[in-house]
Amino acid sequence: MSYAYLFKYIIIGDTGVGKSCLLLQFTDKRFQPVHDLTIGVEFGARMITIDNKPIKLQIWDTAGQESFRSITRSYYRGAAGALLVYDITRRETFNHLASWLEDARQHANANMTIMLIGNKCDLAHRRAVSTEEGEQFAKEHGLIFMEASAKTAQNVEEAFIKTAATIYKKIQDGVFDVSNESYGIKVGYGGIPGPSGGRDGASSQAGGCCS
């Protein structure tokens, strides 16, 4: 499938908060509690439509364990969007947000759009972080915020799409120079043909034809 834009996303946050489950729910529309923990990074992709334009999301699901960070950081480079995830039933995952944010700000580009996700909201009875606290943190740090559940799919679609819409708006507003790939955006057909538009398999095959 061809796309107008390709956005690179990263998903970050403590181990076990449900990053891989969110990705799987978004790409495959299923919740699979028995999948492997993430070593290094895993990839997912899906097409969405914003403003009638097909947009491909290429999503990097990173490993959450602290000691891997020196390596996973190198994956942040050139991401247009980030989903920063915590687990509403585990307070410490919320407490660590600041350090994740700092990492992201340091190693990703400054215009990266960050969506804060309080995951596992289906486990309301075990909630350890209130919705207000999540909202407050997001407000303080200029993030978009949603509570979601990879299990019930609540707000999963919305989180990914809202992030994309925000990035898209930034493009419309001229915030990015989209021909500069370090912003995590690639232009497909109909856009400005970037010098390296052929690098991505999908775009080179699709070059020029419409969806």
Partner 1 sequence: MQEAELHDLSDDADYAASQQQGSSSTMRTDSIKRSSSNEPDGAEIVYSKDNVAIHPTQFVSERISGRLKLIKQGSSLFMTWLPYKEQNSNAKQIEKAYVDRNLYTIKAVPFTEVRSIRRHAPPLGWQYVIIVLSSGLAFPPFYFYNGGVRQFLATIKQHVFLVRSAEDASVFLVNDFENPLQRTFSSLELPRLVSVASGPSTPISVGESPLKENQERINGYESSSISQYNGRQRQKVHDPTRDISIQVLEKFSLVTKFARETTSQLFRDGHSNGFGTFEKMFDSQPAQDDLHKASNNAEKVTDEIPVASDPLEFDKLSLVWGKPRQPPLGSEEWATFLDNEGRVMDSEALRKRIFYGGVEHGLRREVWGLLLGYYAYDSTYAEREYLRTIKSQKCILAFLLNYDFSISPEQARRFTKFRERKGLIDKDVVRTDRALTFYDGDDNPNVNLLRDTLLTYSFYNFDLGYCQGMSDLMSPILFVMRDESESFWCFVQLMERLGPNFNRDQSGMHSQLFALSKLAELLDSPLHNYFKQNDCLNYFFCFRWLLIQFKREFEYEETMRLWEVLWTHYLSEHLHLYVCVAVLKRYRRKIMGEQMDFDTLLKFINELSGHIKLDAILRDAEALCICAGENGAANIPPGTPPSLPIDSGLFYSQQEDEVL
Ligand X SMILES: Nc1nc2c(ncn2[C@@H]2O[C@H](COP(=O)(O)OP(=O)(O)OP(=O)(O)O)[C@@H](O)[C@H]2O)c(=O)[nH]1
Residues that bind partner 1 (CB under 8 A): 8, 15-16, 33-37, 39-43, 63, 65-68, 70-71, 74-75, 77-78, 196, 199-200
Least separation in angstroms between residue 110's CB and partner 1 is 19
Measured from the CB atom, is 15 or 166 closer to ligand X?
Answer: 15
Residues that bind ligand X (CB under 6 A): 15-21, 33, 37-38, 63-64, 119-120, 122-123, 149-151
Least separation in angstroms between residue 41's CB and Mg ion is 9
Least separation in angstroms between residue 168's CB and partner 1 is 21
The DSSP code sequence of 13-82 is -STTSSHHHHHHHHHHS---S--PPPSSEEEEEEEEEETTEEEEEEEEEE---GGGHHHHGGGTTT-SEE
Contact call for residues 206 and 197 (beta carbons, < 8 A): no
Q: Which H helix or E strand runs over 10?
A: strand 5-12
Residue 182 amino acid letter: S
Residues that bind Mg ion (CB under 5 A): 19-20, 38
